[in-house]
Structure formats: C-alpha cells, structure tokens
Chain A
Amino acid sequence: MTRKQRRAVLIGSGVAVLSLAAILMMFAFRDSIVFFHTPSDITGGKIAEGTRFRLGGLVKDGSVRRGNGTMVDFAVTDTLANVEVSYNGILPDLFREGQGVVTEGKMTGGKFLADTVLAKHDETYMPPEVAKALKEKGVKLGAGATMPAISKP
C-alpha cells in the first residue's frame, strides 16, 4: 500500500467509527432523553400519560404522608399548581417539605408515580432547572426554600 492508501484506511476507519457513534447518539437521543416539567405544565395538559419525565418544584408543606409499607406520598408544587406524587422507596436524606426536589417517573391516573427521587449533597442546593423554572413562573420562594447563594464546594 502506498502512504496515501494507508492514510485513507486510517481516516476511513476514523470516519466509520464517528458515523457509527453519530447514528447511535441520534437513536439514543430519540429514545432516552427525559424532559423536565413543573406541576403547572402538567395541569396545562402538555404531557401524555405514560411518558417518562422529570417533575421538579418544591415539596408542598404538610403534604408528606407515609402509606402502607414503603410507599410515600407527597405533593410537588410550583405554587401555581400541585401534583400528587407516589414513591415506593426510601427518600434521600435531604428531602424536606418546602425545599426543591426533582423526581423521575410517569403520570398514571392523574398521579405521578416516581421511581427516583434525586438526592442532593447540600441542603442549600437547588437544582438549576428547578430554580430557573420557578423563576420563570414568577414564584417567590417562601421560608425554607433556598436559592443557590452560599458557596460550598
């Protein structure tokens, strides 16, 4: 093989792998990304039942109830609307009423069935999408709800 042909083989295999990766990424983005919504998006009827998405907002004060076994119910609010959430499992350490929360799951019969409640490392941490979404909705954060302000690692 000449130098040129060898180079062509190298570049060709690089392009082949890159195209393969691009195709994989296209499929993966189509199938596996998860959208983020706040409660008022849901009452606005934007989301079909059974679609997997992330629900974010504040845990409504006084809404946390323990059910049978390990079931926990609570409501997520952006102060304009509330959505009832059911979660089977152990809530993260820093889960608090009045604080920001992100959960992942599906709407089923008017209720949000969460299979994941995202943990956080820092009590004052508010996931940026929650903070931004609440700000867009013009929500004034009440006592107990904290915006990112203090610097921690």
Chain B
Amino acid sequence: MIVELGHFALILALAVALVQMVVPAWGARTRDAQLMAVGSPAAVAQLALMMLAFLALTHAYVTSDFSVANVVANSHSTKPLIYRISGVWGNHEGSMVLWVLILALFGAAVAVFGNNLPATLKANVLSVQSSIAVAFLLFIVMTSNPFERLDPAPFEGQGLNPILQDPALAFHPPLLYTGYVGFSIAFSFAIAALIEGRTDAAWARWVRPWTLAAWMFLTLGIAMGSWWAYYELGWGGWWFWDPVENASFMPWLAGTALLHSALVMEKREALKVWTILLAILTFSLSLLGTFLVRSGVLTSVHAFAVDPERGVFVLAIMTLFTGGGLALFAMRAETLRQGGIFAPLSREGALVLNNILLTTSCATVLIGTLYPLLLESLTGEKISVGAPYYNMTFVPLMLPLLLALPFGPFLSWKRGDIRGVAQRLTAAGVLAVVAIAITLALSERGPWLAPFAIALGVWVMAGAVSELLFRIKAGSAGFEESFRRLGNLPRSVIGTTLAHFGVGVMVVGIAATTAYRSEKILVMKPGETAEIGGFALTFKGVAPNKGPNYTELVSVFDVTRGGAPVVTLEPAKRIYDAPPQPTTEAGIHGSWRGDLYAVLGDAQNEDGGYAVRLYFHPLVRLIWGGALIMFIGGAVSLSDRRLRVGAPKRAAPKPLPVPAE
C-alpha cells in the first residue's frame, strides 16, 4: 500500500513539475501575475510529493519489504538499520529519486525564500528548475522505477554491496548530490536571465549563496568519497584520477570559478556574460558527471555494473540541457549590457586569472577523461589516461593559481597596487622559505620539487592569515582595537580566509604524502617484526571473528615506536553473508606525523605466512582536514548577513568598501 502511494506520489510529482514548467513561464511571457504565482505553490507541492515518494521507498527498505524488486536487489534483513536506510540511495533507482528530491528541495527553497525576487525572474527560474525535474522524473518513471513489485516475493534480499556498507559512504551520495544538484539553481537563474535578456548585481547577489551552498556540499562530498576510498579499499591512495572521481571534480572546478566570477559581477557589474556562461557550464558538467557515473561507458575502479540503455537516456537529458542552454546563450548573450571596467592588476584582474586557470584546468581534466572515448570511436584503439597525464597538465596549471592566490584578497577593486601587496605578503614569503628549509632538514629523500610544493601550501596558508591580520591591523592598532575589528569583520571575509587557508592545508597534505609516502609489501609469519615510518609492527597472528552480517579473519599487529607501545592494529579480511563478497578492512593508526596503514593479504601456501602491505602516509589527514576547513569557510561566509538567503536588500550603502572575498 505504502509502496503504491510512493509510486503514485512520484507520478503526481511529474504532473506537478509539468505544470510548474509551463504555467509560470507562460505567465512571465504574458505578464500575468496569477499565472506566475502558480510557480511557488507548485514547487512546494513538488517537494512534498518527492518527499513522500522518498519516504515510501525508505519505508520499504527499513521494513525489508521484499515484494519490491529494488529492495530485493539491494537489501537484506540482517543488515544494520543505517545501511538499510543508506541502501535507498546505494542503487541506481533510489539514487535518482534522491537526485530529484534534492532538485525539488532547491526549487522549493527559491519559491519560499525568493519573495524579494522580481516576479518574472522568479517565475522563469522556477520554470527552468522544474524542466530539469520533468526530464529526470520521466527518466525514473520510464526506465528506473524503484517501486516495481515482485510476485511472488522472495523471503530474503540479495543484500547491499559490502563495500557500500560503510558510514562514510552512507552520507557520501547525499552530500555529493546536494553539490551537483545545487548548481541547478545557478543554471536556472542563468537561463532565466537569458530569457529576460537582462542581469544586474542583484542577480549575482541571488546566485552566489546558492552556488556557495552547492560548492560547500560538493567539497565535503568529494572529500568524504576520497577518505572512504583511502581507508575502505585498502590500496592506501586517496585520489586516482579515475573517470568517476573526475566526474565530481569537474563541476567542483567550474563551480569554484563561478563562485569567484559571480563576486566580480555582484560587486562591479563586470564579467556578466562570462558568469552566465560559467553557470550553464557548471551544471552541464554536473549532468556530464551523472551521465559518466550512471552509464559506465568508461572503465573505472569505482564503477558498478550498469545498464547501458539508461546511459543513453541520461545522455539525451544532458544534450538537451547543455545544448539548449548554450544555444540560448549564443542567441541572447549580446543583449546583456557590459558593466564596469578595471585595470588588469586589480581585484577583478586577479579573479579573472583565477577563472582562466580554473576553467583551463577543468578543460584538461575534461579532455583527459573523455579522450579515451573519443579515440576509441575514431580509431578503435583502446587507451587509458592516468595520473601521469594529470601530473603533466593539471598540476602545472595549479601552481600559478596557488602562487597568485594570496595576492587576490589584498588587491583593491578597479586598480590594485601590486608593490604594496607584495610588501604585506613579505611575512608569508619568509614563512614559505622557512618551510623549504624545514622540509629539507627533516626529509632524507624524495623529489626535489617536494619542498617547494610544501612551501606553496604554507605560502597560501600564511597569505590567508596575513590578509586577516592586515584587516584587523594586528600589531599596529593595539590588541583591543584589533579584537574589536575582528568582531566587526564581515563573516564573508572570515569565510574567505578560512577557505583559502584550507586550500593551503590541503596542498601541504597532498605534497607531503605524495612525495614522502613509504610502502612495503612483504610476507610475515607470526612473531616477525617489520619497520616503516619510524614504527615497528610485530605480527601476532590471525583469529576468526563474527560480525552482525559478516565473518572475518582478524590479524593482530602490535605497534611500537622507539620501544614504547603505541597501538594494536587489527587489519582484517571480511566475507559478508549477503552477498558473499570479500572486503579488506585496513588497520589505520592516525598520528600528527601521518598515518600508519596496514592491510592483510592472502595466506601463503606453505609456511603459515601472510602477505602484508604496510604504508606510512605523512600528513595525509591534512588533505581531508583542508577540505573540512574549506567547507567551514563556506558555511561561515554563507551565514553573513548580506548573503543570507532571503535577507532584504541593504538599506544604506556600505560605509567602507569592505570586499566580501
């Protein structure tokens, strides 16, 4: 009964979405306020119906209703509750329902909080937003119905893929989708602006918080996926330049560029056409990512068996929205009035450089990801593009970006004083040089570039802090005055500092772990000791163990450092009951120096030894720590009164030109 209700709600949501797509847009065209007013209640109704459908599916999972085909294929009655819930989006059909639910959530948020929007703009935005929902709801209803019944119903389900039964992966898809789908708002606003043929600073002020929110969640979602791959897959890496990873990274790069260009548009009314284009491209890359992941056209270590026909449907949706958006852009972009002018050396100029480098690097990732498809369709040759390609293309483009990053927030709008900024960054430069010296002193081996990469991270961190210190006149104005100034700083400034600081932290982590990682593969018998990263690990043996829905072989390693006991690591090999699939559970000890990481391999034939893989990853946690700081920076910035969603426009002009970024 509840399942049928969910199915019905899904179809009803499609009907409502159709109305929301057509009626407000027609109203905006004919200047009919009543028709335009249909948009908001429709958006809220669409959200309510999607929520109903989603809850109905969740109910089927939680109660293990095995008359539903989707539950049978992806769940099992012995599965812990949290994984029965996360199983809802741990499969194709359910994850598409979640996709549209988040889409509806963003649409309803515009409807509810968008009272200060011009009526026609709001109507057009809701209409465009709903057209995306229509496409994806058609996709679900026609090819991927999650509510399909089975008759007769089996007694037990087939279970969820064990490697998805993990806390980090339970929340990875919702976060990632919130990021992906959040960019739909920027897209809808861009299309609406093109339809109306005008944009202004208010438009950018509206788009920026949504983009920022989407960007935050995408940042966290990607970081969580990377963290999961690091500890769950047992290969000790955190990023593989795999097509599925790139699929989420490309919208992030474009979204980061959009975030910065919208700033120029908001403050200076410049870069209008570019910002609109970027908004269309960012969401198009989200759709491309959905296509790449859902179709499985590319060989990926993160791919699951998929139905290729569904990929064609997603490809059609992507072509429609990207092609349609770009065609509209080509036709209408000229009608947008150009705004303020600026010198190349200025805040605007710095943000343009940011945009050039980010979009170009995004293009190198895009080409690297799609080149194998292109080459195969042209020549039939099958190739793969891996880390060496990205190290040669993406990384060199990031270096100037990171080098220039600290300058940006110091430069003033319109015309900047580069020499003055360089003076203010002296301390950061000195710290970077000190970082080189310390790295060289601490490390015996490693690539000669590594100390410079670490210094680059320190430079970005110190640059972000310098800017904050300069603003509050630390050192020159006395402690109390500085503290007062800190309290008066707009939150968006603090958010920017935090986010940039997080970038620096991440760069240090990436550089350190890439350059100074050590790895050992060896056979160990009980009683033997191996050394890595300053730790000594003694293999004590293995023992069987039983979990709620798996059995495992647990190995025990006593870890000491300089003779003192540190921790006991218990890497294990698990075999889940349903489906009967083995997984590797790494034993990880995190310390401030880095992570000790042990993986248990297969038993050797003759002598009771086990293959063991040991890693030491220096400072690896800074990578995810940096991403977390970036997320927090975004959140602080979003809480700024001037940016808060639905906040009324400023009554009076700002007393001081305090830039928000």
Closest residue of chain B to A21, judged by CB?
B360
For the A-B complex, the count of residue pairs with Cβ-Cβ distances under 8 Å equals 174
Does A47 have its Cβ within 8 Å of any Cβ on chain B? Answer: no
Tell me whether B299 and A102 are in contact (CB under 8 A): yes
Residues of B within 8 A of A (CB): 73-74, 89-93, 95, 161, 163-164, 233-235, 296-299, 301-308, 310, 341-344, 349, 352-353, 356-357, 360-361, 363-364, 367-368, 371, 381-386, 388-389, 392-393, 396-397, 521-523, 573, 579, 581-584, 599, 601-602, 604-605, 611, 613
Question: In whole angstroms, what is the CA distance A102 to B372 when docked?
Answer: 16
Question: In whole angstroms, what is the CA distance A7 to B473 when docked?
Answer: 35
Closest residue of chain A to B233, judged by CB?
A119
In the bound complex, residues from chain A placing their C-beta under 8 Å from that of B306 are 148, 151-152
Min Cβ gap B227→A in Å is: 16
Tell me whether B352 and A10 are in contact (CB under 8 A): yes
Min Cβ gap A14→B in Å is: 5
Min Cβ gap A74→B in Å is: 13
In the bound complex, residues from chain B placing their C-beta under 8 Å from that of A121 are 161, 163, 301-304
Tell me whether B392 and A31 are in contact (CB under 8 A): yes
In the bound complex, residues from chain A placing their C-beta under 8 Å from that of B363 are 18, 21
Query: Knowing A31-B388, A148-B296 touch, does A153 contact B393 (C-beta < 8 A)?
Result: no
In the bound complex, residues from chain B placing their C-beta under 8 Å from that of A111 are none
Q: Which of A77-85, A122-130, A137-145 contacts B (4 or more CB under 8 A)?
A: A122-130
Interface code A8-19, partner B: CB below 8 Å = 1, 0 otherwise? 011001100110
Question: In whole angstroms, what is the CA distance A127 to B526 when docked?
Answer: 38
Tell me whether A24 and B521 are in contact (CB under 8 A): no
Query: Knowing A10-B352, A90-B602 touch, does A148 contact B305 (C-beta < 8 A)?
Result: yes
Tell me whether A24 and B393 are in contact (CB under 8 A): yes
Min Cβ gap B544→A in Å is: 18
Q: A17-B356, A21-B363, A124-B305 are in contact. List 11 more A-B contacts (CB 8 A).
A: A21-B393, A24-B393, A29-B389, A32-B388, A33-B371, A90-B613, A122-B304, A125-B305, A148-B305, A152-B73, A153-B95
Query: Knowing A32-B386, A66-B604, A152-B161 touch, does A10 contact B344 (C-beta < 8 A)?
Result: yes
Tell me whether B161 and A29 are in contact (CB under 8 A): no
Tell me whether A69 and B397 are in contact (CB under 8 A): no
Tell me whether B611 and A3 are in contact (CB under 8 A): no
In the bound complex, residues from chain A placing their C-beta under 8 Å from that of B583 are 93
Partner of A91, one of B95, B396, B602: B602
Partner of A153, one of B304, B308, B353, B388: B304
Tell me whether B305 and A122 are in contact (CB under 8 A): yes
Question: In whole angstroms, what is the CA distance A121 to B90 when docked?
Answer: 13
Interface centre among A17, A31, A37, A102, by most chain B C-beta atoms within 10 angstroms, is: A17
Tell me whether B385 and A32 are in contact (CB under 8 A): yes
Question: In whole angstroms, what is the CA distance A51 to B379 when docked?
Answer: 20
